[in-house]
Chain A
Amino acid sequence: ETGVTQTPRHLVMGMTNKKSLKCEQHLGHNAMYWYKQSAKKPLELMFVYNFKEQTENNSVPSRFSPECPNSSHLFLHLHTLQPEDSALYLCASSPWDLAGGPGEQFFGPGTRLTVL
């Protein structure tokens, strides 16, 4: 596979469930990102990882827990979510080298999450 892939594409969960979103990039990039896109709101950055280290947590509630085991994989663990957390969750990656900076971000297709 090429580019950035996300699984699952759709997820419906109850407020007491625990689930995980997975993102994988096949581009050899060093930075990975989680974004949340809600209806009628701008795309919101949630987390940034550079070289597997978290460099940004944009005041995200603790019910969202990211994990980056290596530069190619990124997870978002979900537990005790609220209905207002229903949204499209997008993963992205970018080259991010010290000389060139972050570079353009390439996005996955997203996971459509519905919390009942």
Chain B
Amino acid sequence: SQELEQSPQSLIVQEGKNLTINCTSSKTLYGLYWYKQKYGEGLIFLMMLQKGGEEKSHEKITAKLDEKKQQSSLHITASQPSHAGIYLCGADMEYGNKLVFGAGTILRVKS
């Protein structure tokens, strides 16, 4: 099994609907990063979470790290076609510069 589990693997939502993507680890996370990727392109940094219970928002995207620092969720409010893409979580599982990534969640938004 993977060190970082992302769910769901893919998601199709109607424009305007809310959605949540989860990222779960069996180990304590020193840092949790959310990225967005358009197919075949590089990753765009969205947010970084480090403290248990931390929550950050950017426009209509909110990310949380739970108190135990083993799970994070990414929530998109009132989804739009521009939100479509692949969302990846990456994590520092031990202090250092090695990020482990989840398999990604493919998001499609229907107009």
A residues sitting closer than 8 Å to B (CB atoms) are: 4, 6, 31, 33, 40-43, 45, 48, 50, 55-56, 88, 90, 92, 94, 96, 101-102, 104-110, 112
Contacts and interface: CB of A to CB of B under 8 A. Distances in A.
A109 B41 CA distance: 5
- Most A CB contacts (10 A, CB to CB) among B48, B97, B101, B104 go to B97
Interface string B67-111: 000000000000000000000101010011111111110000000
A109 B2 CA distance: 25
Nearest to A48: B97
Given A43-B101, A45-B98, A110 B88 contact: no
A-B pairs with lowest CB-CB distance, top 7: A102-B97, A107-B42, A43-B101, A107-B43, A109-B42, A42-B103, A104-B48
A110 B97 contact: no
A41 B40 contact: no
A101 B95 contact: yes
A90 B42 contact: yes
7 contacts: A43-B43, A45-B100, A55-B97, A88-B40, A102-B99, A106-B45, A110-B40
Nearest to B30: A101
B97 A90 contact: no
B97 A96 contact: yes
A102 B102 contact: no
Interface string B5-34: 000000000000000000000000001010
- Most B CB contacts (10 A, CB to CB) among A43, A50, A88, A106 go to A43
B103 A56 contact: no
B42 A108 contact: yes
A112 B102 contact: no
A102 B33 contact: no
A42 B33 contact: no
Nearest to B48: A104
Nearest to A5: B42
